[in-house]
Structure 1
Amino acid sequence: MAEYIRIHPENPQEKAIEQVVKILQNGGLVIYPSDTVYGIGCDITNLKAMEKLARFKGIKLDKAKFSIVCNDLSHLSQYTLPIDNGTFKILKRALPGPFTFVMNASRNLPTAYKGKKTVGIRVPDHLVPRAIVEKLGNPIASTSIHDDDEIIEYTTDPELIFEKWEKLVDAVIDSGYGDNVASTVVDMIDGVEVLRQGKGDIEDFL
Protein backbone atom coordinates (compact mmCIF):
# COMPACT_ATOMS: atom_id res chain seq x y z
CA MET A 1 0.00 0.00 0.00
CA ALA A 2 1.49 3.31 -1.11
CA GLU A 3 2.04 6.25 1.20
CA TYR A 4 0.00 9.35 0.30
CA ILE A 5 2.19 12.40 0.86
CA ARG A 6 0.91 15.96 0.53
CA ILE A 7 3.63 18.45 -0.44
CA HIS A 8 3.08 22.14 -1.06
CA PRO A 9 4.01 22.94 -4.69
CA GLU A 10 5.58 26.33 -3.95
CA ASN A 11 6.94 25.72 -0.46
CA PRO A 12 7.83 22.02 -0.19
CA GLN A 13 8.01 20.87 3.45
CA GLU A 14 11.49 19.53 4.21
CA LYS A 15 10.19 16.60 6.30
CA ALA A 16 7.94 15.45 3.46
CA ILE A 17 10.81 15.70 0.96
CA GLU A 18 13.00 13.64 3.30
CA GLN A 19 10.22 11.05 3.59
CA VAL A 20 10.12 10.69 -0.22
CA VAL A 21 13.92 10.53 -0.46
CA LYS A 22 14.02 7.65 2.07
CA ILE A 23 11.48 5.74 -0.02
CA LEU A 24 13.62 6.28 -3.14
CA GLN A 25 16.81 5.26 -1.31
CA ASN A 26 15.06 2.03 -0.28
CA GLY A 27 14.32 1.21 -3.92
CA GLY A 28 10.75 2.53 -4.00
CA LEU A 29 8.70 3.87 -6.89
CA VAL A 30 7.24 7.34 -6.39
CA ILE A 31 4.53 9.11 -8.37
CA TYR A 32 5.37 12.80 -8.33
CA PRO A 33 4.12 16.12 -9.76
CA SER A 34 5.89 18.11 -12.46
CA ASP A 35 5.30 21.18 -14.61
CA THR A 36 3.56 18.89 -17.12
CA VAL A 37 1.87 15.59 -16.22
CA TYR A 38 2.32 13.47 -13.09
CA GLY A 39 5.29 11.15 -13.52
CA ILE A 40 6.64 8.03 -11.86
CA GLY A 41 10.26 7.77 -10.88
CA CYS A 42 12.96 5.96 -8.94
CA ASP A 43 16.62 6.38 -8.00
CA ILE A 44 18.69 5.92 -11.18
CA THR A 45 21.53 4.33 -9.20
CA ASN A 46 19.30 1.53 -7.86
CA LEU A 47 19.17 -1.30 -10.42
CA LYS A 48 16.35 -3.21 -8.65
CA ALA A 49 14.23 -0.04 -8.54
CA MET A 50 14.90 0.52 -12.25
CA GLU A 51 13.77 -3.03 -13.01
CA LYS A 52 10.63 -2.40 -10.94
CA LEU A 53 9.95 0.79 -12.93
CA ALA A 54 10.31 -1.16 -16.19
CA ARG A 55 7.86 -3.80 -14.91
CA PHE A 56 5.40 -1.04 -13.98
CA LYS A 57 5.52 0.11 -17.62
CA GLY A 58 5.26 -3.48 -18.89
CA ILE A 59 8.61 -3.40 -20.69
CA LYS A 60 12.08 -4.90 -20.28
CA LEU A 61 14.67 -2.60 -18.75
CA ASP A 62 17.00 -2.79 -21.75
CA LYS A 63 14.15 -1.54 -23.96
CA ALA A 64 13.17 1.29 -21.60
CA LYS A 65 13.75 4.93 -22.49
CA PHE A 66 13.40 6.55 -19.10
CA SER A 67 14.33 10.20 -18.97
CA ILE A 68 16.55 11.57 -16.21
CA VAL A 69 15.10 14.26 -13.96
CA CYS A 70 17.75 16.68 -12.66
CA ASN A 71 17.41 19.67 -10.35
CA ASP A 72 19.65 21.84 -12.58
CA LEU A 73 22.16 21.51 -15.43
CA SER A 74 25.06 20.47 -13.18
CA HIS A 75 24.53 16.76 -13.98
CA LEU A 76 24.86 17.33 -17.74
CA SER A 77 28.62 16.82 -17.88
CA GLN A 78 28.28 13.59 -15.90
CA TYR A 79 25.56 11.91 -17.95
CA THR A 80 25.93 13.39 -21.45
CA LEU A 81 28.78 13.87 -23.87
CA PRO A 82 30.20 17.41 -24.10
CA ILE A 83 27.92 19.89 -25.88
CA ASP A 84 28.73 23.09 -27.76
CA ASN A 85 28.04 26.58 -26.42
CA GLY A 86 25.03 27.11 -28.69
CA THR A 87 23.30 23.96 -27.37
CA PHE A 88 24.13 24.87 -23.77
CA LYS A 89 22.65 28.35 -24.22
CA ILE A 90 19.36 26.87 -25.51
CA LEU A 91 19.19 24.49 -22.54
CA LYS A 92 19.96 27.30 -20.10
CA ARG A 93 17.18 29.45 -21.57
CA ALA A 94 14.60 26.65 -21.76
CA LEU A 95 15.24 24.99 -18.38
CA PRO A 96 13.71 24.63 -15.89
CA GLY A 97 10.78 24.05 -18.24
CA PRO A 98 8.42 21.57 -19.90
CA PHE A 99 11.04 19.97 -22.15
CA THR A 100 12.83 16.63 -22.43
CA PHE A 101 16.13 17.12 -24.27
CA VAL A 102 17.54 14.03 -26.00
CA MET A 103 21.33 14.07 -25.99
CA ASN A 104 24.30 11.76 -26.54
CA ALA A 105 24.79 9.64 -23.42
CA SER A 106 28.15 9.44 -21.66
CA ARG A 107 29.68 6.25 -20.28
CA ASN A 108 29.10 7.48 -16.72
CA LEU A 109 25.41 6.59 -16.76
CA PRO A 110 24.36 4.06 -14.10
CA THR A 111 24.22 0.33 -14.86
CA ALA A 112 20.57 0.38 -15.97
CA TYR A 113 21.46 2.76 -18.82
CA LYS A 114 24.50 0.83 -20.08
CA GLY A 115 24.56 0.48 -23.84
CA LYS A 116 22.24 3.45 -24.33
CA LYS A 117 23.53 5.84 -26.97
CA THR A 118 21.16 8.67 -26.02
CA VAL A 119 19.43 9.93 -22.90
CA GLY A 120 16.53 12.31 -22.25
CA ILE A 121 17.29 15.07 -19.73
CA ARG A 122 14.52 16.84 -17.80
CA VAL A 123 14.67 19.82 -15.40
CA PRO A 124 11.00 20.45 -14.56
CA ASP A 125 9.75 23.90 -13.64
CA HIS A 126 8.32 22.52 -10.40
CA LEU A 127 9.96 22.82 -6.98
CA VAL A 128 8.88 19.41 -5.64
CA PRO A 129 10.79 17.07 -8.02
CA ARG A 130 13.80 19.40 -8.01
CA ALA A 131 13.87 19.42 -4.18
CA ILE A 132 13.64 15.61 -4.16
CA VAL A 133 16.55 15.24 -6.60
CA GLU A 134 18.65 17.77 -4.70
CA LYS A 135 18.10 15.95 -1.37
CA LEU A 136 18.62 12.53 -2.96
CA GLY A 137 21.95 13.68 -4.39
CA ASN A 138 21.45 12.24 -7.86
CA PRO A 139 18.76 12.31 -10.57
CA ILE A 140 15.69 10.12 -10.72
CA ALA A 141 14.67 7.98 -13.68
CA SER A 142 11.25 9.01 -14.85
CA THR A 143 8.36 8.30 -17.17
CA SER A 144 4.87 9.74 -17.53
CA ILE A 145 1.79 8.02 -16.11
CA HIS A 146 -0.56 7.13 -18.94
CA ASP A 147 -4.23 6.49 -18.44
CA ASP A 148 -6.26 3.77 -20.13
CA ASP A 149 -9.04 6.26 -20.87
CA GLU A 150 -9.34 6.87 -24.61
CA ILE A 151 -10.31 10.51 -24.14
CA ILE A 152 -8.10 11.55 -21.24
CA GLU A 153 -4.54 10.34 -21.80
CA TYR A 154 -3.18 11.56 -18.47
CA THR A 155 -4.85 11.54 -15.05
CA THR A 156 -4.45 14.93 -13.38
CA ASP A 157 -6.10 14.33 -9.98
CA PRO A 158 -3.61 12.90 -7.42
CA GLU A 159 -6.41 11.26 -5.40
CA LEU A 160 -7.55 9.33 -8.48
CA ILE A 161 -3.91 8.48 -9.26
CA PHE A 162 -3.55 7.08 -5.73
CA GLU A 163 -6.73 5.01 -6.07
CA LYS A 164 -5.54 3.54 -9.33
CA TRP A 165 -1.89 2.79 -8.56
CA GLU A 166 -1.62 2.53 -4.76
CA LYS A 167 -0.85 -1.22 -4.90
CA LEU A 168 1.85 -0.86 -7.57
CA VAL A 169 3.95 2.00 -6.19
CA ASP A 170 5.43 2.99 -2.81
CA ALA A 171 4.33 6.62 -2.62
CA VAL A 172 2.05 9.11 -4.35
CA ILE A 173 2.76 12.81 -3.87
CA ASP A 174 -0.19 15.18 -3.88
CA SER A 175 0.81 18.69 -4.95
CA GLY A 176 -2.56 19.55 -6.45
CA TYR A 177 -3.89 18.90 -9.92
CA GLY A 178 -1.35 18.19 -12.63
CA ASP A 179 -1.41 19.22 -16.28
CA ASN A 180 -2.67 16.88 -18.99
CA VAL A 181 -0.11 17.83 -21.63
CA ALA A 182 3.25 16.03 -21.61
CA SER A 183 6.65 17.63 -22.12
CA THR A 184 7.94 18.57 -25.55
CA VAL A 185 10.70 16.14 -26.57
CA VAL A 186 13.56 17.84 -28.44
CA ASP A 187 16.46 16.01 -30.09
CA MET A 188 19.63 18.11 -29.61
CA ILE A 189 22.11 15.64 -31.09
CA ASP A 190 22.34 17.11 -34.58
CA GLY A 191 20.71 20.53 -34.45
CA VAL A 192 17.27 21.03 -32.93
CA GLU A 193 14.50 18.60 -33.88
CA VAL A 194 11.13 18.33 -32.14
CA LEU A 195 10.31 14.62 -31.72
CA ARG A 196 7.06 15.22 -29.83
CA GLN A 197 5.26 18.52 -29.48
CA GLY A 198 3.96 18.92 -25.96
CA LYS A 199 3.51 21.77 -23.52
CA GLY A 200 6.65 23.76 -24.35
CA ASP A 201 7.48 25.60 -27.57
CA ILE A 202 11.22 25.35 -28.20
CA GLU A 203 11.02 28.11 -30.83
CA ASP A 204 10.69 30.60 -27.95
CA PHE A 205 14.22 29.74 -26.78
CA LEU A 206 16.18 29.51 -30.03
Structure 2
Amino acid sequence: MADRLPVHPVNPQARQIDRAVRAIAAGGLALVPTDAGYTLAWSIDSKDAEDRVLRLRELDSRHPFTLLCRTVSEAGRLARLDDRAFRLVRSLTPGPCTFILPASPDLPRRIRNVGRSKRRAIGIRLPDHVVVRGLLEAVGEPLLSTSLLLPDEEHPVSHEADMVAERWLRFVDVMLDAEDCEPGPTSVVDCTGDEPVVVRQGFHPVAL
Protein backbone atom coordinates (compact mmCIF):
# COMPACT_ATOMS: atom_id res chain seq x y z
CA MET A 1 0.00 0.00 0.00
CA ALA A 2 1.24 3.46 -0.88
CA ASP A 3 2.13 6.05 1.74
CA ARG A 4 -0.72 8.56 2.18
CA LEU A 5 1.05 11.58 3.60
CA PRO A 6 -1.14 14.27 5.18
CA VAL A 7 0.21 17.68 4.23
CA HIS A 8 -1.10 21.11 5.14
CA PRO A 9 -2.70 22.71 2.04
CA VAL A 10 -1.33 26.17 2.85
CA ASN A 11 1.86 25.52 4.85
CA PRO A 12 3.07 22.08 3.70
CA GLN A 13 5.43 20.28 6.05
CA ALA A 14 8.90 19.97 4.54
CA ARG A 15 9.33 16.43 5.90
CA GLN A 16 6.27 15.21 3.96
CA ILE A 17 7.41 16.91 0.78
CA ASP A 18 10.84 15.32 1.24
CA ARG A 19 9.29 11.86 1.58
CA ALA A 20 7.48 12.35 -1.70
CA VAL A 21 10.67 13.60 -3.33
CA ARG A 22 12.50 10.45 -2.25
CA ALA A 23 9.75 8.25 -3.68
CA ILE A 24 9.84 10.10 -7.00
CA ALA A 25 13.65 10.04 -7.11
CA ALA A 26 13.51 6.26 -6.65
CA GLY A 27 11.38 6.00 -9.79
CA GLY A 28 8.02 6.03 -8.02
CA LEU A 29 4.62 7.29 -9.02
CA ALA A 30 2.96 10.03 -6.94
CA LEU A 31 -0.50 11.49 -6.44
CA VAL A 32 -0.22 15.23 -5.93
CA PRO A 33 -2.77 18.04 -5.48
CA THR A 34 -2.96 20.87 -8.00
CA ASP A 35 -5.22 23.81 -8.72
CA ALA A 36 -7.26 21.57 -11.04
CA GLY A 37 -7.61 18.33 -9.10
CA TYR A 38 -5.09 15.69 -8.09
CA THR A 39 -2.75 14.40 -10.76
CA LEU A 40 -0.27 11.59 -11.26
CA ALA A 41 3.33 12.81 -11.31
CA TRP A 42 6.68 11.14 -11.87
CA SER A 43 10.27 11.88 -12.81
CA ILE A 44 11.20 12.59 -16.42
CA ASP A 45 13.83 9.86 -16.08
CA SER A 46 11.48 7.16 -14.76
CA LYS A 47 10.44 4.94 -17.64
CA ASP A 48 9.11 2.38 -15.15
CA ALA A 49 6.65 4.89 -13.65
CA GLU A 50 5.57 5.98 -17.12
CA ASP A 51 5.02 2.38 -18.20
CA ARG A 52 2.80 1.87 -15.15
CA VAL A 53 0.73 4.90 -16.17
CA LEU A 54 0.40 3.60 -19.73
CA ARG A 55 -0.86 0.26 -18.45
CA LEU A 56 -3.21 1.79 -15.87
CA ARG A 57 -4.82 4.18 -18.29
CA GLU A 58 -4.48 1.86 -21.31
CA LEU A 59 -2.70 4.53 -23.29
CA ASP A 60 -0.60 4.28 -26.42
CA SER A 61 3.13 4.80 -25.91
CA ARG A 62 2.88 7.92 -28.10
CA HIS A 63 0.48 9.59 -25.66
CA PRO A 64 1.68 13.13 -24.83
CA PHE A 65 2.02 13.72 -21.10
CA THR A 66 2.09 17.17 -19.53
CA LEU A 67 5.16 18.69 -17.93
CA LEU A 68 4.72 20.46 -14.59
CA CYS A 69 7.12 23.39 -14.33
CA ARG A 70 8.04 25.93 -11.66
CA THR A 71 8.65 29.01 -13.80
CA VAL A 72 8.14 30.40 -17.28
CA SER A 73 11.91 30.31 -17.84
CA GLU A 74 11.97 26.62 -16.94
CA ALA A 75 9.13 26.01 -19.40
CA GLY A 76 11.14 27.93 -21.99
CA ARG A 77 13.92 25.36 -21.81
CA LEU A 78 11.46 22.61 -22.77
CA ALA A 79 9.29 24.49 -25.27
CA ARG A 80 9.83 27.21 -27.84
CA LEU A 81 8.26 30.43 -26.57
CA ASP A 82 8.07 33.30 -29.01
CA ASP A 83 7.23 36.74 -27.66
CA ARG A 84 3.48 36.24 -28.04
CA ALA A 85 3.48 32.85 -26.31
CA PHE A 86 5.78 34.11 -23.57
CA ARG A 87 3.45 37.00 -22.76
CA LEU A 88 0.42 34.71 -22.80
CA VAL A 89 1.97 32.07 -20.55
CA ARG A 90 3.22 34.72 -18.14
CA SER A 91 -0.23 36.35 -17.96
CA LEU A 92 -2.08 33.10 -17.23
CA THR A 93 0.35 31.44 -14.83
CA PRO A 94 0.61 30.14 -12.28
CA GLY A 95 -2.89 28.81 -12.76
CA PRO A 96 -5.09 25.95 -13.98
CA CYS A 97 -4.12 26.17 -17.63
CA THR A 98 -2.25 23.77 -19.92
CA PHE A 99 -0.35 25.18 -22.89
CA ILE A 100 0.40 23.18 -26.03
CA LEU A 101 3.70 24.55 -27.28
CA PRO A 102 6.28 23.68 -29.94
CA ALA A 103 8.86 21.36 -28.42
CA SER A 104 12.36 22.68 -27.83
CA PRO A 105 15.38 20.91 -29.34
CA ASP A 106 16.64 20.73 -25.72
CA LEU A 107 13.72 18.53 -24.64
CA PRO A 108 15.14 15.43 -22.89
CA ARG A 109 15.66 12.64 -25.37
CA ARG A 110 13.35 10.17 -23.63
CA ILE A 111 10.45 12.60 -24.06
CA ARG A 112 11.49 14.00 -27.42
CA ASN A 113 11.75 10.68 -29.26
CA VAL A 114 8.46 9.00 -30.22
CA GLY A 115 9.30 5.80 -32.04
CA ARG A 116 11.24 6.83 -35.14
CA SER A 117 9.94 10.38 -35.11
CA LYS A 118 10.36 13.33 -32.79
CA ARG A 119 7.70 15.02 -30.72
CA ARG A 120 6.77 18.36 -32.24
CA ALA A 121 4.65 19.74 -29.40
CA ILE A 122 4.39 19.32 -25.64
CA GLY A 123 1.95 20.26 -22.88
CA ILE A 124 3.19 22.59 -20.14
CA ARG A 125 1.57 23.53 -16.81
CA LEU A 126 2.65 25.95 -14.11
CA PRO A 127 0.20 25.00 -11.36
CA ASP A 128 -0.93 27.39 -8.65
CA HIS A 129 -1.04 25.11 -5.61
CA VAL A 130 1.48 25.52 -2.83
CA VAL A 131 1.96 21.77 -2.31
CA VAL A 132 2.81 20.82 -5.87
CA ARG A 133 4.90 23.97 -6.25
CA GLY A 134 6.79 23.00 -3.10
CA LEU A 135 7.30 19.53 -4.51
CA LEU A 136 8.62 20.88 -7.81
CA GLU A 137 10.98 23.20 -5.95
CA ALA A 138 12.28 20.32 -3.83
CA VAL A 139 12.68 18.00 -6.83
CA GLY A 140 14.50 20.76 -8.69
CA GLU A 141 13.22 19.89 -12.15
CA PRO A 142 9.94 19.48 -14.06
CA LEU A 143 7.79 16.40 -13.53
CA LEU A 144 5.69 14.50 -16.00
CA SER A 145 1.99 14.29 -15.19
CA THR A 146 -1.36 13.03 -16.38
CA SER A 147 -4.97 13.18 -15.26
CA LEU A 148 -6.69 10.59 -13.06
CA LEU A 149 -8.77 8.97 -15.75
CA LEU A 150 -9.13 5.19 -15.78
CA PRO A 151 -10.31 3.33 -18.90
CA ASP A 152 -13.83 2.75 -17.51
CA GLU A 153 -14.39 6.44 -16.70
CA GLU A 154 -15.65 9.33 -18.79
CA HIS A 155 -14.74 12.01 -16.25
CA PRO A 156 -12.02 11.78 -13.62
CA VAL A 157 -12.84 11.92 -9.92
CA SER A 158 -9.88 14.00 -8.95
CA HIS A 159 -10.55 16.80 -6.46
CA GLU A 160 -11.94 14.98 -3.41
CA ALA A 161 -8.99 13.54 -1.49
CA ASP A 162 -10.80 10.54 0.03
CA MET A 163 -12.26 9.47 -3.31
CA VAL A 164 -8.90 9.89 -5.00
CA ALA A 165 -7.23 7.74 -2.34
CA GLU A 166 -9.92 5.06 -2.56
CA ARG A 167 -9.63 4.86 -6.34
CA TRP A 168 -5.91 5.38 -6.89
CA LEU A 169 -3.82 4.73 -3.78
CA ARG A 170 -3.27 1.08 -4.63
CA PHE A 171 -1.70 2.05 -7.95
CA VAL A 172 0.91 4.53 -6.73
CA ASP A 173 3.83 4.76 -4.31
CA VAL A 174 2.96 7.96 -2.45
CA MET A 175 0.13 10.47 -2.10
CA LEU A 176 0.52 14.00 -0.82
CA ASP A 177 -2.90 14.40 0.79
CA ALA A 178 -3.67 18.12 1.02
CA GLU A 179 -7.39 17.49 1.50
CA ASP A 180 -9.86 18.43 -1.23
CA CYS A 181 -8.61 20.78 -3.92
CA GLU A 182 -10.09 22.80 -6.76
CA PRO A 183 -11.85 20.72 -9.43
CA GLY A 184 -10.52 20.39 -12.94
CA PRO A 185 -10.03 20.13 -15.75
CA THR A 186 -7.51 22.74 -16.77
CA SER A 187 -8.21 25.02 -19.67
CA VAL A 188 -6.07 24.10 -22.69
CA VAL A 189 -4.54 26.71 -24.98
CA ASP A 190 -2.89 25.60 -28.24
CA CYS A 191 0.00 27.90 -29.10
CA THR A 192 1.38 25.92 -32.04
CA GLY A 193 -0.52 27.78 -34.78
CA ASP A 194 -0.58 31.31 -36.12
CA GLU A 195 -2.77 32.43 -33.22
CA PRO A 196 -3.34 30.87 -29.78
CA VAL A 197 -6.62 28.97 -29.56
CA VAL A 198 -8.51 27.77 -26.49
CA VAL A 199 -9.26 24.14 -27.34
CA ARG A 200 -10.83 23.36 -23.95
CA GLN A 201 -12.36 25.61 -21.35
CA GLY A 202 -11.68 24.25 -17.89
CA PHE A 203 -13.34 24.71 -14.53
CA HIS A 204 -11.85 28.22 -14.55
CA PRO A 205 -12.35 29.46 -18.15
CA VAL A 206 -9.74 31.67 -19.78
CA ALA A 207 -10.12 34.57 -22.21
CA LEU A 208 -7.38 35.39 -24.70
* Same fold by TM-score greater than 0.5: yes
Name whichever of 154-163 and 72-81 sits farther off: 154-163
Query: In structure 1, which of residues 190, 194, 200 is the aligned counterpart of residue 204 of structure 2?
Result: 200
Match of 1:74 in 2: 73
In the alignment, is residue 136 of structure 1 matched against residue 139 of structure 2?
Answer: yes
1:13 CA displacement? 1.0
Secondary structure at the aligned position of 1:201 is classed as coil
Partner of residue 119 from structure 2, selected from 98, 116, 121: 116
Q: TM-score, normalised by structure 1?
A: 0.90
Post-superposition shift, 1:176?
1.2
What SS does the corresponding residue of 1:33 show, helix, strand or coil? Answer: strand
Aligned equivalent of 1:53: 53
TM-score normalised per structure 2: 0.89
In structure 1, C-alpha distance between the alignment counterparts of 2:36 and 2:69, rounded to whole Å: 15
Q: In the aligned structure 2, how far is the partner of 1:113 from the partner of 1:7?
A: 34
Provide the secondary structure at the position in 1 that maps to 2:100: strand
Match of 2:190 in 1: 187
Question: What displacement does 1:119 show?
Answer: 0.4
Q: CA deviation at 1:76?
A: 2.1
User: RMSD over aligned Cα, in angstroms?
Assistant: 1.7
Q: Deviation at 1:97?
A: 0.5
Tell me the secondary structure at the aligned position of residue 145 of structure 1: coil
Aligned twin of 1:42: 42
Q: Would the aligned equivalents of 1:158 and 1:173 in 2 still touch at CA under 8 Å?
A: no
Sequence identity of aligned pairs in percent? Answer: 30
Unmatched tracts of structure 1, length 5 or more:
none
CA contact (8 A) 2:30 2:175 kept: yes
**Alignment length (residue pairs):** 201
Task: Compute the displacement of 1:199 (Å).
Answer: 2.3
Q: Is the 1:29–1:40 Cα contact (8 Å) retained in structure 2?
A: yes
Change in 2 beyond 3 A, CA 1:29/1:86: same
C-alpha distance in 2, partners of 1:84/1:177?
A: 36
Is the counterpart of residue 105 in structure 1 residue 103 in structure 2?
yes
Partners in 2 of 1:166 and 1:130 — Cα distance? 21
Q: Give the Cα separation in 2 of the matches to 1:201 and 1:185.
A: 9
- Can you list the C-alpha shifts for 1:112-166, whole angstroms capped at 9, x where unaligned? 342211000000110111111111111111111126566x642432122222222
AA paired with 1:195?
A: V
Q: Distance in 2 between matches of 1:25 and 1:194?
A: 34
SS in 1 for 2:171: coil
CA deviations on 1:89-110 (whole Å, 9 max, x unpaired) are: 1111100011000000112222
State the secondary structure of the residue aligned to 2:170. coil
Corresponding residue number in structure 1 for 2:128:
125
Measured after TM superposition, the shift of residue 20 of structure 1 is 0.5
Shift in alpha-carbon separation, 1:196–1:89, aligned structure 2, 3 A: same
Matches within 5 A, 1:12-23: 12-23=12-23
Distance, in Å, in 2 between the alignment partners of 1:146 and 1:59 is 11
Contact 2:169–2:175 under 8 Å retained in 1: yes
Provide the residue aligned with 2:9 in structure 1: 9
Q: Tell me which moved more, 65-74 or 41-50.
A: 41-50
